[in-house]
Amino acid sequence: MNTKLKPLRKHLLLAGLVALLPATSWAYAGSDAERIQKLEQQVNLLLERLSAQESQLNQQQQDISETKAATKGNVIASTNGRSLTFKDADGDFSFTVGGRLQADAVYHNEDDIKLGDGSRFRRAFLDIRGTVYRDWNYRFQYDFARPGGSDNSQRGIRDAYVQYTGFTPDITVGQFKQPFGLEHLTSSLNTTFNERALTNVFNPDRAIGLGLSHGGSNWSLSGGAFGEKAEVDPADEGNEGWGLVARGTFNPIIEKDRLVHLGAAVLHRNPEEGDLRFRERPEANVTGVRFIDTGTIGNVDDYQQYGLEAATVLGPFSLQSEYINTRVQRGSGDKNLNFNAWYVYASYFLTGESRGYNAKSGAFGAVRPNSTVGQGGIGAWEAGIRYSRADLNDGSFIGGDQDNLTLGVNWYATDNIRFSANYIKVLDVDRPGNAADGEKPSIFALRGQIHF
């Protein structure tokens, strides 16, 4: 650039010298001829300076055009402070990469049944999503904390789908969460307690299928037809089960920090080879022990579930409850079964924040702390209490009836980092004839979580 500047600088110098002339000649005026000669000199110098400027202008123009051309069509990176997104100028293409990590340490004050204390990763997601062309989106999540195991499972694969948003409703094909249950559909990043309530025994999890979904500013509708989650064992030649699911939500009140959520969902399913099993850990995941477990229920024709959801947010205070009923229809000679589960919980932000909510999906979202640790703040502090119960006993069928009380504290250090402590008291297990009957352990669970 220096060499290009030189001609201009020379002119500036000359111009500076000449600029002194008119100042003096002005005062003394001089003869017409002298004045004209001075003007002619000045005009000539002006012409030279102008020409030099024109050269520089054109050079700059070229530089600017080159910069524009070089960046035209570039993909631009941006971030929301968590994940990293790349987009082209047309918006035809996008790519986002993120992840989540949850590390747990859990201590058990056991009753009779041994529960192993320890630490492990609860989730370790890589999360890739994007747009390949306009309305064609995709998402792929893998959970490195769920290794393959001896059954050759693909269970590390979480969301893995293609979505077309060019129609109403949106069409999704692949593996994704079946639309059933408020806590089930709220990301594990945003559930108030470390583990979902005992109702989780009935949550249908992700499966491969086709889904339709649509929603507005205060409602959502979604449904789909599903096979099973990515096959556990290709060497198992049983025909996979299949099912239908539908869910609707409505928000009579939805304001910045005031919300009422109402939801209902139904599910019909034919299980693989007529075999069905419900079982659940005690709202803690380092142990492999399940106090409630139906074992394999054979001779099942199909089963139906319905779920009811209600929640409210009033500033820092929130209340949430769900009830799920499950009816198992069995073939001749075997009794139909009726199970149910429910929970209710309250949470309060000591630091004044409100829970986030997404009306289009009818589920709770992220909490944004008012202040952040590392910027003079203390983050967000939330306290919660939950009662939760699942009843897998029906008449003489004894899968177990458990109720839990949980106390929880969440510390949101930043938008992306949360530390949680949960105390879970198993109030009772009613499962006559099984070792789990009457077990009342207490469990203390710590979690560190980052979302990027």
CB of 138 to a second copy, least distance (A): 5
The count of C-alpha atoms lying within 13 angstroms of the C-alpha of 396, restricted to the half-sphere facing its C-beta, is: 2
Which amino acid is it at 327?
Answer: R
Return the number of the residue (92 or 255) whose C-beta is nearest a second copy: 92
- DSSP string computed for 191-224: -SSSS--GGGGG---EEEEEEEEEE-SSEEEEEE
CA gyration radius for the chain?
33
Residue 60 pairs in a beta bridge with none
Phi, psi of 52, rounded to the nearest 5 degrees: -60, -45
Round to whole Å and give the CA distance between 330 and 278: 15
The count of C-alpha atoms lying within 13 angstroms of the C-alpha of 425, restricted to the half-sphere facing its C-beta, is: 6
Round to whole Å and give the CA distance between 81 and 421: 25
Return the number of the residue (26 or 423) whose C-beta is nearest a second copy: 26
Angle between helical axes of 2-28 and 32-71 (0-180°, round to 10): 150
Return the number of the residue (43 or 427) whose C-beta is nearest a second copy: 43
Return the number of the residue (66 or 255) whose C-beta is nearest a second copy: 66
CB of 317 to a second copy, least distance (A): 27
CB of 439 to a second copy, least distance (A): 13
CB of 21 to a second copy, least distance (A): 10
Q: What's the start-to-end Cα distance of the chain, in Å?
A: 42
CB of 373 to a second copy, least distance (A): 8
| Displacement of CA 130 from its chain's centroid (Å) | 14
CB of 134 to a second copy, least distance (A): 5
CB of 202 to a second copy, least distance (A): 22
Return the number of the residue (114 or 335) whose C-beta is nearest a second copy: 114
Token digits of residue 327:
């009816």
E strand or H helix at 244, and its extent? strand 242-254
Return the number of the residue (240 or 334) whose C-beta is nearest a second copy: 240
Establish whether the linkage from the previous residue to 169 is cis, with ω within 30° of 0.
Answer: yes
By the 8 A CB rule, do 142 and 158 touch? yes
Return the number of the residue (114 or 440) whose C-beta is nearest a second copy: 114
Beta strands in 271-299 (DSSP E): 279-280, 292-293
CB of 83 to a second copy, least distance (A): 8
CB of 108 to a second copy, least distance (A): 8
Return the number of the residue (286 or 337) whose C-beta is nearest a second copy: 286
Round to whole Å and give the CA distance between 93 and 224: 27
Return the number of the residue (95 or 397) whose C-beta is nearest a second copy: 95
